[in-house]
Amino acid sequence: MKNVKALIITGFGINCEEEMAAAYKLAGAETKIVHLNDIFSEKISIHDYDIMNFPGGFSFGDDLGSGKVLSNKMKFKKMKSGKLFFEDIKDFLDEEKFVFGVCNGFQFLVKMGLLPNLNSDFEQEITLTGNNSAKYEDRWVHCKVNENSKTPFLKRIDKLFVPVRHGEGKLIIKNEQIRNKIVEKNLNCLTYCDEFGKETSEYPLNPNGADLNCAALTDETGRVFGLMPHPEAFLSLYNHPNWSQLKRQNPDIYEDGEGLQIFRNIVEFIHRKNVKSTKKK
Amino acid sequence: MKNQIQITLKDKIRDVFGEKIEQNAQKFLNLNTGKVKTSKIYNVTYSLDSNSIEKFAKLGLCDEITQDYYLNQFYKNSIYKSFILVAKMPGVTDDEGISAQKTLADILELDLDVNTQHIYSEELFLIENELSAEDLKNIAENLLGNKLIQHFEYGKFTGKIDYIPEVHISSNIRTEIVDLNISDADLIDISCNKVLSLNLEEMKEIRKFFNDEKTIKLRKEKKLPEDPTDCELEIIAQTWSEHCKHKEFDAIIDYENLETGEKKQIDSLFKTYIKASTNIIRERLEKVGNNWLLKIFNDNAGVVKIDDKSVFIWKVETHNSPSAIDPYGGAITGILGNNRDPMATGVGGGKLLFNTNVLCFGPPNYDKPLIAGQLHPRRIFEGVRHGIEDGGNKSGIPTVNGSIIFDERYSGKPLVYCGTGGIMPMDYNGKPSWDKPIDSGDLIIMAGGRVGKDGIHGATFSSTELDEHSPQSAVQIGSPITQKLLSDFMTEAALKGLIKCSTDNGAGGLSSSVGELALISNGAEIYLEKVPLKYANLQPWEIFISESQERMSLVIEPEKLAELYDLAEAREVELSNIGKFTDSGYLEVRFQNEIISYLDLDFLHNGVPRKHLSAEWKKPNLVEPNIPQNLDYNDILLKLMGSYNICSRENVIRQYDHEVKGKTIIKPLMGKDGKTPQDAAVMRLDFESFAGLAISNGICPKYGDIDAYEMSAGAFDEGIRQIISVGGKLPEINDRSNRFWTVNDNFCVPDSAFDPVNNLDGKQKLAKLVQMNEALYDMSTFFNIPMTSGKDSMKNDFKAGNVKISVPPTILYSMVAKVDDVRKTVTSNFKAEGDFIYILGKTYDELGGSEFYKLFDELGVISPKVRKINAKRLYEKVTKANEQNLIESCHDLSDGGMAIAISESAIGTEFGVELIISNFEELSLNAILFSESHSRFVISINPKNKLIFEELLGQDCLLIGEVTSEKKVKIALKDKIVVDVEIDELQNAWDKGLGN
């Protein structure tokens, strides 16, 4: 799958770029970690890549609200040629390419209007804000996949056990109409649940009080995907908080982490798509 | 011109932070605020037209889904009767304001000066109930902020806020000449008034230097005044400070043991014990051609070899004094400052892998009247916790383990130990990364934050006792985002070979960083007018010793300068070219072409007179307590589980990101429910292999009240046994796989210099310090586990009037050991029903200093003693057992002894335990259950491995019971049940111990 090229954005306080790159490498893609300013200065073009990734972190220290300053930078900053970077992202999406955001990265996508983007007008429709617990927390949560979701990222996954590590992950939707559309179109692709897969709003199973108990969103194409939990933090069995007991129970247990499947899915999907389009040509 | 923007939550949106303030006001201050509405105010002093400011407010500051903005007016609602404004004092870090400036420049496409403050952020709280000015002040000062760094307004809200913390300093810049040919009393006055923290002998030594004929002649040639300048005095004071020169650890000590009559003279604790022990180990290693100890004691952090491609760098520091007066600022500055040490070791640019934190506080329920300037331990706890949270999380460095200890004697000064480990490639473009070469002609480039008045006299301040007049400039707030940009930049620049070497600007600022680097090339020249400032009109000496944070001094070859500047511009890091290294033998400081300091480097670094101290040891007069008979052991166990030193730290741990970077394998809490506490942290080094590190902390100050030597030895043992517990292996001199162990020793002691008026028991305290060092030497050389870096903090006393609160002598051994395969490490939680439980290592009647005695307010006489030979034998056997995968769970025994260890291994699992105690014949039940004897573990094994395990462990293991499916702790003494309590009950007590 060497023909899949994953671009991983960094800079300004993003701090999960290395494990994100490791995830793509393990999934068989070619990866490059690039400072956002090197894209603005056009040293790097996003169009040379199949998927653009926004990792987690504390961009601008979460000042003015998580993801706020960096998403505005991406919305308003002009590249060296004078083109708005945001227009470049839109072109990238028009090429039917993929965008993925985790945690802080999800916060950018939401605040830039890339998710859920119901009207294709890139206006902000939801936000991610302070947890009901009024604190940052690192804890592992169970999530279940919306079986009607079409996004390739979540294929063949029903449930995920992954850590959340945020202070501002509570999803709030602008109005009832948008809320209904999200549900109707199955854009709420991942839901906080208990260990048996039952959706719940109960803290700490739902760690932040998100509306719809929603942990992740896609746009209608399924090509833009963002989530609060960190799949790139569970690449190996040994990231699991109870790996040692799992191994006792099953000495032959698979040594990959559940989070890796998301990266495998998307890399494989892009690979197939690229093969097809090469054939067409 | 000024525009004011207020951002509030829409009324329909739940204000979770307001709710928290309401709850905390009730809980901690017994005040009923009613509803609290939070909001932010941004005072914008850039000149902007009304369209621009509106666009900025709407797009840049406001989140339209949940918030409203008000431009030059305020949200009004008559239900709120009171308000509190929390603003920063002039010059206090305002990251939020700076970020607002940057986003303003982005959104409006303006080319603005974003490096100095033009947007000032403030917090406005609207409060439903009409509270008195006194109550509002109470909330402001005790819940919302710290009066040392914040400005408060409160009362009935009039709809007007005028306060903007702009910095104004009158422009009278001059360099003062200080005449030292004055009386002794006047010399002391100068030292006090200028906060130099120099004693009379040191002041006289300086006078002697300036009165020396050679000095006079040279200064004449250079057209300098005969007397020193203020800048020169400040540089000497900073360089000679206890913080920088460790004068007490370097002192000559006359030690007398009054018990045995033994007398000896110790020529420097540091050289005699710490350095000597590491040198012995190094010699042993080198003799067999093992050279993993790459760098010890002579850089910002120690360096050891991981393999041919990379090195491990690590440092643990303390930040106690600042954390006492501003817990949040003290802790965040502490952790960020400590991060800069491994970042700037050798060439620099290392990637930081983890943080650790060990904290000592007064008890949260402290109920003595607070003395002037003293903050309540609960506030210190919360502030420090928050500082560590922001310092670690916002930098993307996982906080992988730590410890919190409560003792009333930490109520004045808390101890805040910050540790950081990092990795550098073995070389950058063929040059060793851990080397620090500097040649005459190399440039001095300052990188990162700007310079303000913050932290002036930090180095000298930390060397004094705290009192109610402690200077406000000692308080600083770190900026993790500034440092993150700087650290990313340095990593990139180092990999490109642009940095020759580097050091950080911490205590003592440029004076310290340049002054120390200058020793390598033997001279430096600095031009202070080139140092970028946060605001105008700092005195030249202030610029030189300011401790403004997030700055590095880089050593750059002239031909690399252009490329370095290009990269810095692309990464938005400010650089300034402030001077060059020379080989003149002098530290020359200029301000606008005038020489304001010209100091002989040899005098500066070696001229400080050595201290001469006395130590006297007399055994404390203690008695063994009478503990009541017929105790209810269920009740005792529940009380212990809920006691401050044992109970759950989950609320703290969860607020630290302990797994960013994806490499944390054993986290602080593990098991089915993610609740079982672990011994050492384990991390893998990269994603390609399973080689890793185990990270532990050994600290047990409580035993020092009985025996300081055994306390220090015990702490060392604790550090080792935690690593053995998770599957580590003791070092072997002949092992050629670079399987290193590295220790940072951190001594925090009360003032131990005898004074007939102020410090009557100084000799006794110093004797304890000597004994702690003897134990360090004995343990280190016995186990071949070397110190690679460390720190001492000598004046941990908090004074007001005639009250003094002094910490108990405390030593922390922070250890890291390389682990071959993280997949083979062992966690503490029980794994399966029916597994056999053993206690490994012998239990002694050593209840002195135990948590069990503490329940009865008793100390006791016999505290745990380390039996090195037995310990080593056991540790080697445990390793062998692990090599055969025999051990399913392992937990080391410490606070609370065996009963607590088995309870902790059951917490958060689906299991209970059933123990039958019969083979401890000579011991009391109290000792069996609660003795804290060192070098012991509670482990479980799969029953099928019983024979092979027992054969391997021999007399070092004792079968005591098994893991059950019934979620209970059941302990029987022969046939009598002494403990029978539900795990849920134990867990409940454990969870609620800290009142969360």
Q: What is the set of domains in chain A, with CATH numbers? A: 5-280 (3.40.50.880)
pLDDT, position B465? 55
Q: What is the residue whose two structure tokens read 């335990």?
A: B913
Catalytic residue, candidates A103, A143, A193, A214: A103
Residues of A in contact with B825 (CB under 8 A): 244
Q: How close B449 comes to chain A (CA, Å)?
A: 15
Q: Do A127 and B395 touch (CB under 8 A)?
A: no
Give me the helices (H) in B374-504, please. 377-393, 458-461, 480-495
A72–B contact, CB cutoff 8 A: yes
Over residues B429-442, the pLDDT tens digits come to: 999 999 999 999 99
Instruction: Please give the angle made by the CA atoms of B88, B91 and B97, to the nearest 5 degrees.
Output: 60
Q: What is the residue whose two structure tokens read 């920063």?
A: B88
Q: Which of A111, A134, A163 sits opposite B16 (nearest CB)?
A: A134
A61–B contact, CB cutoff 8 A: yes
Give residue B203's Cα distance to chain centre: 32
Q: Do A172 and B570 touch (CB under 8 A)?
A: no
Report the candidate in A87, A128, A93 with the shortest Cα–Cα distance to residue A217.
A128
What proportion of chain B, given as a percentage, has pLDDT over 70?
98
Question: Which of B454 and A227 is assigned the larger pLDDT?
Answer: A227
pLDDT at A46 over 80: yes
What's the rounded mean pLDDT across residues B412-441?
96
Over residues B528-557, the pLDDT tens digits come to: 999 999 988 889 999 999 988 899 999 999
Interface probe, candidates A14, A15, A77, A249, chain B, greatest B C-beta count within 10 A: A15
A146–B contact, CB cutoff 8 A: no
A143 in catalytic set:
no
pLDDT, position B712? 98
Q: How many C-beta atoms surround the C-beta of residue A251 within 10 A?
A: 8
Give me the residues paired with residue B5 across strands: B42, B71
Catalytic residue, candidates A230, A240, A258, A271: A230
Region at B961 (left for phi over 0; alpha for psi -120 to 50; beta for the rest): left
Residues of A in contact with B822 (CB under 8 A): 238
pLDDT at B8 over 70: yes
pLDDT, position A100? 98
What's the rounded mean pLDDT across residues B728-750?
95
Cβ under 8 Å to A: B residues 639-658: 653-658
Cβ under 8 Å to A: B residues 675-714: 684, 687, 690
Residues of B in contact with A11 (CB under 8 A): 485, 488, 571
Interface probe, candidates B484, B486, B821, B942, chain A, greatest A C-beta count within 10 A: B484
A13–B contact, CB cutoff 8 A: yes
Over residues A90-106, the pLDDT tens digits come to: 999 999 999 999 999 99
Interface probe, candidates A17, A19, A40, A58, chain B, greatest B C-beta count within 10 A: A58
Q: How close A145 comes to chain B (CA, Å)?
A: 22
B660–A contact, CB cutoff 8 A: yes
Q: Cα dihedral sign for B572, B574, B580, B581?
A: negative
What's the rounded mean pLDDT across residues B502-519?
92
C-alpha B377/C-alpha B24 separation (Å) is 16
Q: In B430-550, where do the E strands start and end?
A: 431-432, 443-448, 501-504, 524-527
Backbone φ, ψ for residue B884 (5° rounding): -100, 15
A232 in catalytic set:
yes
Report the candidate in B518, B496, B875 with the shortest Cα–Cα distance to residue B720.
B875
Region at B591 (left for phi over 0; alpha for psi -120 to 50; beta for the rest): beta
Q: Do A131 and B16 touch (CB under 8 A)?
A: yes
Q: Do A241 and B822 touch (CB under 8 A)?
A: no
What's the rounded mean pLDDT across residues B278-298?
94
pLDDT, position B194? 86
Q: pTM, whole model, 2 decimals?
A: 0.96
Q: Judging by beta carbons within 10 Å of its beta carbon (0-12, 13-18, 19+), is residue A199 exposed, middle or buried? A: middle
What's the rounded mean pLDDT across residues A181-208?
97
Residues of A in contact with B481 (CB under 8 A): 12-13, 58, 60-61, 63
C-alpha B687/C-alpha B152 separation (Å) is 50
Dig out the tokens for B760 from the structure: 């009557």
Q: Which of B481, B485, B829 sits opposite A245 (nearest CB)?
A: B829
pLDDT, position B462? 54
What's the rounded mean pLDDT across residues B717-730?
98
What's the rounded mean pLDDT across residues B872-889?
98
Over residues B612-653, the pLDDT tens digits come to: 999 999 999 999 999 999 999 999 999 999 999 999 999 999
A36–B contact, CB cutoff 8 A: no
A149–B contact, CB cutoff 8 A: no
pLDDT at B468 over 70: no
Specify the DSSP class assigned to residue B759.
B
A28–B contact, CB cutoff 8 A: no
Give the range among B141-145, B179-183, B472-476, B943-947 with minimum mean pLDDT. B472-476
pLDDT, position B814? 98
Q: Which residues contact B467 (CB under 8 A, 6 or more apart)?
A: B372, B373, B798, B799, B800
A47 in catalytic set:
no
Q: What does chain B come to in residues? A: 996
Dig out the tokens for B617 from the structure: 């040891």
What's the rounded mean pLDDT across residues B597-606?
95
Residues of A in contact with B95 (CB under 8 A): 61, 63
pLDDT, position B471? 45
pLDDT, position B168? 84
Give residue B463's pLDDT band: very low, low, confident or very high (50, 70, 90). Answer: low
C-alpha B289/C-alpha B437 separation (Å) is 25
Interface probe, candidates A244, A258, A262, A263, chain B, greatest B C-beta count within 10 A: A244
What's the rounded mean pLDDT across residues B187-203?
91
**Which residue of chain B is at minimal alpha-carbon distance from A126?**
B65
Q: Do B106 and A56 touch (CB under 8 A)?
A: no
C-alpha distance from residue A218 to each of A151, B82, B928 (Å): 7, 44, 59
C-alpha B837/C-alpha B859 separation (Å) is 30
- The order of strands in the sheet holding B443-448 is B501-504, B551-556, B443-448, B575-581, B524-527, B586-591, B594-600
C-alpha B791/C-alpha B245 separation (Å) is 11
CB of B824 within 8 A of CB of B782?
A: no
Orientation angle between helical segments B983-992 and B897-906, nearest 10 degrees:
100
Catalytic residue, candidates A17, A19, A168, A232: A232
A278–B contact, CB cutoff 8 A: no
Give the range among A77-81, B319-323, B948-952 with minimum mean pLDDT. B319-323
Question: Which of B758 and B135 is assigned the larger pLDDT?
Answer: B135
Structure ipTM: 0.97
**Which residue of chain B is at minimal alpha-carbon distance from A40?**
B570
Q: Do A241 and B480 touch (CB under 8 A)?
A: no
Mean pLDDT, chain B, whole residue set = 94
Question: Which of B802 and B771 is assigned the larger pLDDT?
Answer: B771
Residues of A in contact with B669 (CB under 8 A): 241
B991–A contact, CB cutoff 8 A: no
Over residues B823-872, the pLDDT tens digits come to: 999 999 999 999 999 999 999 999 999 999 999 999 999 999 999 999 99
pLDDT at B466 over 60: no
Give residue B460's pLDDT band: very low, low, confident or very high (50, 70, 90). Answer: low
DSSP notation for B484-508? HHHHHHHHHHHHTT--SEEEE--TT
pLDDT, position B492? 97
Residues of B in contact with A249 (CB under 8 A): 832
Give residue B172's pLDDT band: very low, low, confident or very high (50, 70, 90). Answer: confident
pLDDT, position B920? 72
pLDDT at B697 over 90: yes
pLDDT, position A153? 98
